[in-house]
Structure 1
Amino acid sequence: MAADPSFTVIGHRGARGHAPENTLLAIDTGIRLGSHMVEIDVQLHSGELIVIHDLRVDRTTNGHGRVDALSLAQLRALDAGQGQRIPTLGEVLDLVEGRVPVNIELKTGAGTAEAVAAHLRGLLEANATPEQFLVSSFHLPELYEFRQLLPQVPIGVLLCGVPLDWAACAAELQAECVNLSDEFVDERLIADIKNQGRRVYVYTVNEPEDMHRLRAMGVDGVFTDYPDRALKLIAQ
């Protein structure tokens, strides 16, 4: 997984502070702003991998209802902001064209890992390299399945809390990194992750003072809606 050696700036859902989240516009904006990596969320719907965070469409589109209650055609017809549509994983990766690594978060179970693995396997058989991708999830069984299906692609464990066994799950999954919620940053957890030789990324960090504090704590990077703010901090 390619990353800046000092502090990795990951565009959260593209660059959702500048453009509608998880859209092609947001992802391209994140790259143009200089993100070292961009992050997206994927769900499996009717055999297609679509890029959307919520299980409902209400917050991020002009539609209403659960994602799984709408047809693929209905989802694709929605306005996700500024005339953008809900993209597919394939459309996102075609847009990125290997310019930066893409963190693909598995938002749903029940076959999402298998579908993502199949899609990435096809790209690897063409001309892509494993380091162009990072697959992460809170759904650790799904992440484990992905690891079994495509072990050459790095994975990241997502945590929203401090486990009793610290970062043991990351060791069990052989994860490249652990992505922590900014609400649950714990120095002992960071130390455990780093002692295992894994990277620590924190989400979602938008204020420069928080970026500075986390960098001083030894984290390896942040997910941010404003990649330009983090890059300015690095430059200073």
Structure 2
Amino acid sequence: MTHPWFEGTAPPRVLAHRGLVRSEDAAHGIAENSFAAVAAAHAAGCDYVESDCHLTADGRVVLFHDEDLSRVTGDPRQVAQVSARELEKLMAQRGGLITLVQALDAFPDVRFNLDVKVPDAAVPVGRLIAPHAERVLVTSFSDDRRREALEAALAAGAGIRPATSAGTATIVRLLGALAVRSDRLVHRALADVDALQVPERRGPVRIVTKRLIEAAHRHGVEVHVWTVNDPVAMRRLVARGVDGIVTDRADIALRILKD
């Protein structure tokens, strides 16, 4: 059965990578993963927002990508070393801090793609998304971490398991299975995932191939490619059968892929 996260919107899916920050917004100090960035993606008509989850010193789950604050705010401390209130002050002139609770409440018609960045955030994320499981996809480079979040959501009363995409170990197993042409091993690798969210290539290794796309589709799994900002590349990947594009320019992607 298709998870509700995928229903109602036909591929190609446009996933707003950390929200939407246009060049003019960035010039005014608006940062990725801010309240303003998520609001801009929503206003542009994007159904899907990709974001990242960290845990503050006082246990609040916030949408933030890096472990430390230096790149976004100039503060050298880690997210885990500051309280949500401190982070609110630091983000006040950068589009505003947005917590996971705020994101889910303020944008009830947005479907979130949440990357659990640190082990301590897995259970809190799972508990918070439990009432919203039909519109959340959980991912992480760590398969253990994403599974922990999924289990926490079910334990907290989620009526359905949140959607999920493969971690690094699962993708490595899948690539090995494809290399030896074993559909049995492909099935085992994809058994607990709804999507593969991958870069087109990693160094010299091409990950998104015709064989990978066909195998994923054969097992009911979508393929989403990150992070694609070039319109030519967007069109090329969709023409090859990719189901979703994760992009910093959701506005452009919506215009060229959905018209």
Same fold (TM over 0.5): yes
1:206 to 1:229, Cα distance in 2 relative to 1, 3 A: same
Output aligned runs, 1:6-155, within 5 Å: 6-17=11-22, 19-45=30-56, 46-79=58-91, 82-96=93-107, 98-110=108-120, 112-121=121-130, 124=131, 128=132, 130-149=133-152, 150=154, 152-155=161-164
- Greater shift, 181-190 or 57-66, is seen at 181-190
**Distance of 1:27 and 1:157 partners within structure 2:** 24
Q: Partner of 1:229: helix, strand, or coil?
A: helix
Q: Report the structure, 1 or 2, having the larger helix content.
A: 2
Percent identity for Structure 1 against Structure 2: 28
**Distance of 1:115 and 1:222 partners within structure 2:** 28
Q: Say whether the 8 Å CA contact 1:157–1:178 is kept in structure 2.
A: yes
In structure 1, runs of 5+ residues without a counterpart are none
Question: Deviation of residue 232 (structure 1)?
Answer: 1.6
Partner of 2:256 in structure 1?
233
- Give the structure-2-normalised TM-score: 0.78
Q: Partner of 2:114: helix, strand, or coil?
A: strand
Q: Say whether the 8 Å CA contact 1:48–1:88 is kept in structure 2.
A: yes
Q: Partner of 1:59: helix, strand, or coil?
A: helix
Q: Partner of 2:174: helix, strand, or coil?
A: coil
1:74 to 1:6, Cα distance in 2 relative to 1, 3 A: closer
Q: Say whether the 8 Å CA contact 1:162–1:186 is kept in structure 2.
A: no
Q: Deviations over 1:73-102 (max 9, x none)?
A: 33222136x442332111111221x22211
1:234 to 1:71, Cα distance in 2 relative to 1, 3 A: closer
Partner of 1:210 in structure 2?
233
> Higher Cα Rg: structure 1 or 2?
2
Question: Deviation of residue 44 (structure 1)?
Answer: 1.9
Q: Partner of 2:198: helix, strand, or coil?
A: strand
**Distance of 1:169 and 1:52 partners within structure 2:** 32
**Deviation >6 Å, runs of 4+:** none
The alignment of Structure 1 onto Structure 2 pairs a total of residues equal to 226
**Distance of 2:234 and 2:60 partners within structure 1:** 36
1:168 to 1:43, Cα distance in 2 relative to 1, 3 A: farther
1:157 to 1:169, Cα distance in 2 relative to 1, 3 A: farther
